[in-house]
């Protein structure tokens, strides 16, 4: 376990800690305004991964100098990559950190091998919902499309609601680097809307989505879920 204050170049230094000795990965904590709390997640990664954690600018043990903007946070993340000498690395995060990881990958896709996206808010849904729906239809077979259309027409039983929200993703998504977790609620999975060479996490849909369960039916059981990165082909 190695701690280091990394100078960014504008007079600000970021606190970092590294564990493991394998492929490089960075984990971004939530906030903004919090500090690193992702050590347990780094421990789950095991010895295969060299996991870097850090306090974002203005947070915890890091310096407070400079602008506190999303562009600056993205630049800070890339400065850490350059400091540690990686050409590409896995970028992960939780909550705000997940959004930071996603936006970093969109800006520097050639510097990212995968994104681990945990409970972020994602891109603004209203700006790309049409593109997402069109891409999802194109990836599914005619039989899958017809079945989902029938379920969407509702009302649905508890079992049908479970099937509708957790419908299988197309086979074009290959999964790797997974860890088991329990879902707080029954959620659907929503792949990214825009094609990219960068692997993305299969992110659950909003936990605020209302369940259209028929009157008198029992709610579905809460199944175990897997958080995984996805290599898009």
57-61, 107-111, 216-220: range with lowest mean pLDDT:
216-220
Q: Are 189 and 219 in contact (CB under 8 A)?
A: no
Report whether the peptide linkage leading into residue 101 is cis, meaning its omega lies within 30 degrees of zero.
no
Is a pLDDT exceeding 60 seen at residue 144? yes
Q: Are strands 112-118 and 49-54 parallel, antiparallel or unpaired?
A: unpaired
Higher pLDDT, 139 or 217: 139
Phi (first) and psi of residue 22, to 5 degrees: -110, -135
Q: Are strands 203-204 and 189-190 parallel, antiparallel or unpaired?
A: antiparallel
- On whether both 130 and 113 belong to a single domain, the answer is no
Q: Considering its fold, how many domains does the chain have in total?
A: 2
- On whether both 69 and 145 belong to a single domain, the answer is no
Residue span of the structural domain in which 153 resides: 125-232
- On whether both 10 and 107 belong to a single domain, the answer is yes
Whole-structure pTM value:
0.56
Given this model, what pLDDT does residue 168 score?
A: 56
Which residues lie across from 128 on neighbouring strands?
A: none
Tokens 């259309």, residue located: 149
- On whether both 32 and 68 belong to a single domain, the answer is yes
- On whether both 107 and 144 belong to a single domain, the answer is no
SS3 160: helix
Residue 104: how many CB atoms within 10 A of its CB?
25
- On whether both 138 and 111 belong to a single domain, the answer is no
Q: Are strands 49-54 and 13-19 parallel, antiparallel or unpaired?
A: antiparallel
Tokens 């007079």, residue located: 11
- On whether both 72 and 8 belong to a single domain, the answer is yes
Query: Which range in 84-88, 177-181, 188-192 is most confidently predicted, on average pLDDT?
Result: 84-88
Rounded-to-5 percentages of helix, strand, coil across the chain: 30, 30, 40
Taking only the tens place, the pLDDT of each residue in 45-102 is 888 899 999 999 999 999 998 888 999 999 999 999 999 999 999 999 999 999 999 9
Q: Mean pLDDT score of the chain, rounded to an integer?
A: 75
CA distance 54 to 37: 9
Write out the two tokens for 143: 């039989």
Taking only the tens place, the pLDDT of each residue in 62-72 is 999 888 899 99
Given this model, what pLDDT does residue 214 score?
A: 37
19-28, 47-56, 220-229: range with lowest mean pLDDT:
220-229
- On whether both 87 and 130 belong to a single domain, the answer is no
Write out the two tokens for 94: 């939780």
Q: The domain that contains 101 carries what CATH number? A: 3.40.50.1820
Average of per-residue pLDDT across 207-232: 37
Given this model, what pLDDT does residue 113 score?
A: 95
Domain end marker among 118, 147, 166: 118
- On whether both 83 and 13 belong to a single domain, the answer is yes
- On whether both 31 and 90 belong to a single domain, the answer is yes
Average of per-residue pLDDT across 213-219: 38
């Amino acid at each position: 376990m190695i701690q280091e204050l990394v100078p960014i170049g504008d007079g600000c230094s970021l606190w970092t800690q590294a564990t493991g000795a394998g492929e490089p990965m960075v984990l971004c904590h939530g906030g903004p305004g919090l500090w690193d709390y992702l050590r347990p997640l780094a421990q789950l990664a095991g010895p295969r991964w060299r996991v870097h954690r850090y306090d974002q600018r203005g947070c915890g043990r890091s310096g407070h100098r400079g602008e506190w903007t999303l562009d600056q946070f993205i630049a800070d993340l890339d400065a850490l990559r350059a400091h540690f000498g990686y050409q590409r690395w896995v970028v992960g995060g939780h909550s705000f950190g997940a959004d930071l990881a996603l936006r970093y990958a969109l800006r520097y896709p050639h510097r990212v091998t995968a994104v681990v996206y945990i409970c972020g808010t994602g891109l603004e849904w209203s700006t790309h919902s049409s593109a997402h729906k069109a891409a999802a239809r194109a990836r599914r077979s005619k039989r899958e499309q017809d079945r989902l259309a029938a379920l969407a027409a509702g009302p649905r039983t508890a079992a049908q609601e479970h099937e509708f929200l957790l419908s299988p993703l197309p086979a074009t998504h290959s999964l790797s680097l997974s860890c088991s977790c329990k879902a707080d609620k029954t959620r659907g999975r929503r792949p990214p809307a825009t094609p990219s060479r960068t692997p993305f996490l299969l992110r659950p849909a909003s936990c605020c989505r209302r369940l259209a369960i028929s009157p008198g039916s029992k709610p579905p059981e809460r199944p175990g879920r897997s958080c995984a990165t996805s290599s898009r082909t």
